A and B are shown apart, each in its own frame.
Chain A
């Protein structure tokens, strides 16, 4: 539900970077969205696509890279792919596990001209 405000944050952030680097336009942006970041990647991408028209990102390719959630079991230290926060360890069925990846939500890179 907050994906629209996050998309605006991205556009503002890119605008500042573009000015800093004297970019005429942005050709490409790569954004990493972790499966456990609290951001719905599809909703975020839709929001961004809607909002970029009058921005510096108007003609940019938008690459959303999704990072799988990773967990480490508190009981047996097993590392496993964590599809959701409350997932139990597939090896020992214990809960909870520490989240060790998939919480990223960041602009990875830009290609500018």
Chain B
């Protein structure tokens, strides 16, 4: 198992269906004791761009299979299925990513309270442990389902598919997927969302986009939260925007404070414009 974050071990994965109190366990086991010769003698290069072509050559009993298949293709395929499900039901699906403590859950609580009268909102909550965030979301008035990834560090398309079906998300609603707090791993995993929203807060360094380029490159909107604390910290909003734009020129920005409500109207306006 990964010594840093344990990702890949799905034995602890739990999806808590809060309406039907039903738990779902996956049971993958992998043993860890391998002894193989790793002589790196094949360093030939391949220039095939096609992902799905397959051909074989026979060499006696041995056979070489040329695959050139993207290792994330399974996740990407399932993400496409999710995306189609969301689109067919006119569900606005947003994947919220950030480091822990940037205020994703608070933003969602405030958003639910402000918008729930006009549009149904559903939330898929991803955390390593506990039901705390789903409890907070439900208190705000939106149905939520909690995925506990155990020691895993990100949500993937399969987890979202399972949670989406259990949550029974209604057509024409907004589905927020609050990813595990982590600016590294969730960047690689498409969940099928319509747009990805990265949240940073002004108590973090303004050089975050440079340090975690994959996340900022793959997002559509960047929310800079905790703007009420700007007088007390050295965070340079313009510099952050400049760094992030250098990676992703199309990235949009909203500066807000979920705590005081400042700038939240811009976020609601942005949500209203997403079709």
List of B residues within 8 angstroms of A109 by Cβ: 46, 64-68
Residue of B nearest to A67 (CB): B45
Known: A1-B7, A47-B2. A6 touches B42 (CB 8 A): no
In whole angstroms, how far apart are the Cα atoms of A6 and B209 in the complex?
24
Could you say which residues of chain A place their CB within 8 Å of the CB of B71? 6, 9-10, 13, 31, 105-107
Interface centre among B5, B69, B156 (most CB of A within 10 A): B69
B36 with A1: CB separation less than 8 A: no
Most buried by A among B64, B74, B214, B217: B64
Tell whether, in the assembled complex, residue A2 and residue B28 are in contact, meaning their CB atoms are under 8 Å apart: no
- 0 or 1 for each of A30-65: is its CB under 8 Å from B? (1 = yes): 111000001100000101011111110011111111
* B248 to A: closest C-beta gap in Å: 9
Q: Is B125 an interface residue (CB 8 A)?
A: no
Contact for A113 among B43, B61, B152, B187, CB less than 8 A: B61
Task: Tell me if B63 and A106 are in contact (CB < 8 A).
Answer: no
Residues from chain A with Cβ under 8 Å of B6 in the complex: 4
**Chain B contact patch, size range:** 35 or more
**Residues of B with C-beta under 8 A to A112:** 62-63, 65
Q: Mark B1-43, 1 if CB is under 8 A from A, else 0.
A: 1101111111000000000000000001011111011111111
Contacts of B210 in A (CB 8 A): 86
Which A residue sits closest to B1, measured CB to CB?
A: A4
**Judging by beta carbons under 8 Å apart, are A96 and B153 in contact?**
no
* Alpha-carbon gap, A60 to B36, bound state (A): 7
C-alpha spacing A86/B67, complex, angstroms = 31
Q: Give the docked Cα–Cα distance between A65 and B62 (Å).
A: 21
- Indicate if the CB atoms of B214 and A51 lie closer than 8 Å: no
Partner of B37, one of A9, A61, A96, A108: A61
* Bitwise interface map of A from 6 to 31 toward B, beta carbon under 8 Å scored 1, else 0: 11111011000100010100011011
B75 and A61 contacting across the interface, CB-CB below 8 Å: no
Taken together as a complex, chains A and B put the C-alpha atoms of A106 and B69 apart, in Å, by 5
Which residues of chain A are near B9, meaning CB under 8 Å? 4
The answer to the question of B129 belonging to the interface, with a C-beta cut-off of 8 Å to chain A, is no
Cβ–Cβ contact A111 & B62, under 8 A: yes
From B2, B36, B70, B247, contact of A3 by CB (8 A): B2
Question: Contact at B65–A96, with CB atoms within 8 Å?
Answer: no
Q: List, in ascending order, chain A residues with CB within 8 A of B33's CB.
A: 50, 53
Once the chains are docked, how many angstroms separate the CA of A13 from the CA of B52? 13
> Quick one: which of B36, B72, B217 contacts A49, CB cutoff 8 A?
B36
Asked if A1 contacts B188 (CB within 8 A), the reply is no
Which of A31, A47, A64 has most chain B Cβ within 10 Å?
A47
Asked whether B64 lies within 8 Å of A111 as measured between CB atoms, the reply is yes
CB <8 Å contact, A54 and B30: yes
* Closest beta carbon of chain A to B124's beta carbon, Å: 18
A5 proximal to B (CB < 8 A): yes
B62, A9: Cβ atoms closer than 8 Å: no
Chain B residues within 8 Å of A7, by CB: 8
**Would you list 7 pairs from A and B whose C-beta atoms are within 8 A, ordered by A residue?**
A5-B156, A13-B69, A38-B188, A86-B247, A106-B69, A108-B67, A113-B63
Chain B residues proximal to chain A, CB less than 8 Å: 1-2, 4-10, 28, 30-34, 36-46, 51, 56, 61-75, 152-154, 156, 182, 184-185, 187-189, 210, 213-214, 217, 246-247
Chain A residues with a Cβ under 8 A of chain B: 1-10, 12-13, 17, 21, 23, 27-28, 30-32, 38-39, 45, 47, 49-55, 58-65, 67, 85-86, 95-96, 105-113
Known: A64-B40, A106-B51, A109-B64. 5 other contacts (CB 8 A): A9-B71, A9-B75, A38-B188, A62-B36, A85-B213
